[in-house]
């Protein structure tokens, strides 16, 4: 078994016992990248020299007998909308193709302080707008389980890298399901923490009231270890919540007897693939066998989450992306004869079709005469959605649903039909609208393709969903599945 197959906690033990070194581990991951990434195409930028330098630094600490954190010496990757000092950060857009940030995002800084080794930056849908990573301005990423299928999005590169052994763990961002949906598609664990639990400072914004950074890992234990490192208040982020961060690893007990689990009927949407529903229902039966009390519940305003989201998120994107005008940094059309033409050409050439579609939709929703009819009404619906969750959580500890209504689809299957693509996030968008924590874990295979089970928790109760997800993982037959990726 290659070193890339091991988890964070297994590799930590091996490093402590001198069974391997961080340099050896890092070199082995780069060898893996060299072998499989021409097929997967997860990475946009590699930082091999800096990574090996960091690995050697950790090895010196280990050789001196120093105690190191669990992530020390562990190779990881970051989604390419998370700023990294001195390393290109593109958002998979022509607009930022040559942008090199002068600072680290808070999450990147915290991981580096904990000794994690940054391998490079990972592909994504442009400015995190998409559900398949087909919207990357550079190239699509492929699903390690089937190279003819998408890995999901927008964190497709981050998820595919973990599934294919091209990183031990990664970080993604989740605005409407961009961690959990691709985690479901690629058979790994992906978590969206509560809005405000993890700093967004240095995350290039799509929709500021919805974006949240989270871990993508091989299993739930690794997820808890990464969350321990990145969670917590950050004075640089005004939306970061100042409250104590527990040790999430302590929540990992394989026991859920008496846990009250709600099954929201609205998160089993019309058009859901039959085998996906069957596998999720089997997972719920397994939870009941383990002693959980599972009952159907209703979230009556959930059907309005998708249209409300596609007013709120594009409106915020319209505002956030106004800064890309060719004046300060990023792409600029150099052939324009005047400033107004330069603005127009820069934005029309610098942004892809999906980004421009959402900017126009958001600008329209915010325009005079339509603000109250669209954007304000969407915010009221968002409040109703949050109130539905609050009401259900008075009687239940956790909610369970599919992470995606389908298995990964083939390239081009939905790219000509934006509405069909948007429906890929039917099971995840309501959770973002309510700002709640949620995690996707593998729960089986439909014709050889992964299916994800989503656990949703109360605000700032990541511990309970980690406990439930860990217990299910340990008691199911889908612990750490790996794609039989064979490349020449």
Catalytic residues: 79, 154, 178
Determine contact, residues 349/94, Cβ cutoff 8 Å: yes
Determine contact, residues 252/9, Cβ cutoff 8 Å: no
Structure tokens at 407: 């298995």
- Cα 5 from Cα 288, distance rounded (Å): 31
Q: Which of 464, 483, 466, 432 is nearest to 188 (CA)?
A: 483
- Cα 269 from Cα 406, distance rounded (Å): 11
- Cα 436 from Cα 122, distance rounded (Å): 25
- Cα 93 from Cα 289, distance rounded (Å): 48
Structure tokens at 320: 């956030």
What single string gives the DSSP state of each residue in 80-91?
TTB-BTTB---T
3-state SS class at 278: helix
Determine contact, residues 309/177, Cβ cutoff 8 Å: no
Structure tokens at 361: 């939709």
Structure tokens at 127: 């400015």
Neighbouring C-beta atoms of residue 17, cutoff 10 Å: 9
* List of E strands, 150-217: 169-174, 189-192, 212-217
- Cα 448 from Cα 446, distance rounded (Å): 5
Q: Which residues of 466-486 are buried (b: 16+ CB within 10 A; e: fewer)?
A: bbbbbbbbbebebebbbbebe
Question: Helices 377-392 and 305-320: crossing angle, nearest 10°?
Answer: 130
| CA 422 to chain centroid | 16
Neighbouring C-beta atoms of residue 221, cutoff 10 Å: 21
Question: Helices 274-289 and 462-475: crossing angle, nearest 10°?
Answer: 100
């Amino acid at each position: 078994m290659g070193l890339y197959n091991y988890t964070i906690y297994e590799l930590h033990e091996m490093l402590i016992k001198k069974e391997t070194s961080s340099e050896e581990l890092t070199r082995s991951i780069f060898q893996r990248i060299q072998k499989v990434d021409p097929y997967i195409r997860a990475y946009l930028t590699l930082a091999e020299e800096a990574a090996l330098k960091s690995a050697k630094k950790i090895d010196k600490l280990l050789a001196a007998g120093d105690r190191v954190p669990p992530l020390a010496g562990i190779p990881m990757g970051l989604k390419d909308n998370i700023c990294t000092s001195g390393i290109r950060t593109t958002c998979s857009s022509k607009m930022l193709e040559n942008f090199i940030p002068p600072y680290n995002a808070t999450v990147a800084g915290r991981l580096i302080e904990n000794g994690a080794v940054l391998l490079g930056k990972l592909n994504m849908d442009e400015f995190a707008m998409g559900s398949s990573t087909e919207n990357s301005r550079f190239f699509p990423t492929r699903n390690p389980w089937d190279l003819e299928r998408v890995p999901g999005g927008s964190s497709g590169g981050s998820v595919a890298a973990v599934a294919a052994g091209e990183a031990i763990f990664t970080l993604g961002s989740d605005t409407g399901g961009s961690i959990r949906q691709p985690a479901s598609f690629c058979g790994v664990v992906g978590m969206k923490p509560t809005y405000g639990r993890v700093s967004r400072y240095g995350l290039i914004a799509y929709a500021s009231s919805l974006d949240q950074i989270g871990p993508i890992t091989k299993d739930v234990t690794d997820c808890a270890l990464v969350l321990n490192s990145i969670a917590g208040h950050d004075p640089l982020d005004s939306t970061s919540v100042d409250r104590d961060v527990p040790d999430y690893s302590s929540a990992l007990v394989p026991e859920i007897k008496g846990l009250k689990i709600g099954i929201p009927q609205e998160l089993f949407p019309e058009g859901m693939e039959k085998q996906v529903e069957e596998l999720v229902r089997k997972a719920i039966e397994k939870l009941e066998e383990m002693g959980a009390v599972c009952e159907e519940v209703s979230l009556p305003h959930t059907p309005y989450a998708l249209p409300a989201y596609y007013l709120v998120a594009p409106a915020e994107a319209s505002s956030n992306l106004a800064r890309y005008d060719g004046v300060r940094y990023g792409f600029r059309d150099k052939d324009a004869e005047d400033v107004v033409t330069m603005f127009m050409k820069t934005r029309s050439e610098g942004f892809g079709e999906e980004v421009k579609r959402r900017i126009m939709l958001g600008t329209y929703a915010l325009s005079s005469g339509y603000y109250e009819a669209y954007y304000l009404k969407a915010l009221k619906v968002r409040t109703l959605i949050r109130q539905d969750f609050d009401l259900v959580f008075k009687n239940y500890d956790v909610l369970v649903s599919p992470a995606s209504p389908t298995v990964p689809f083939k390239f081009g299957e939905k790219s000509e039909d934006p509405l069909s693509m948007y429906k890929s996030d039917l099971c995840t968008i309501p959770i973002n609208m309510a700002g709640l924590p949620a995690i996707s874990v593998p729960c089986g295979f439909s014709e050889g393709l992964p299916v994800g089970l989503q656990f949703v928790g109360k605000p700032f109760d990541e511990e309970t969903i980690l406990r439930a997800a860990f217990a299910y993982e340990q008691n199911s037959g889908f612990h750490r599945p790996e794609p039989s990726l064979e490349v020449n």
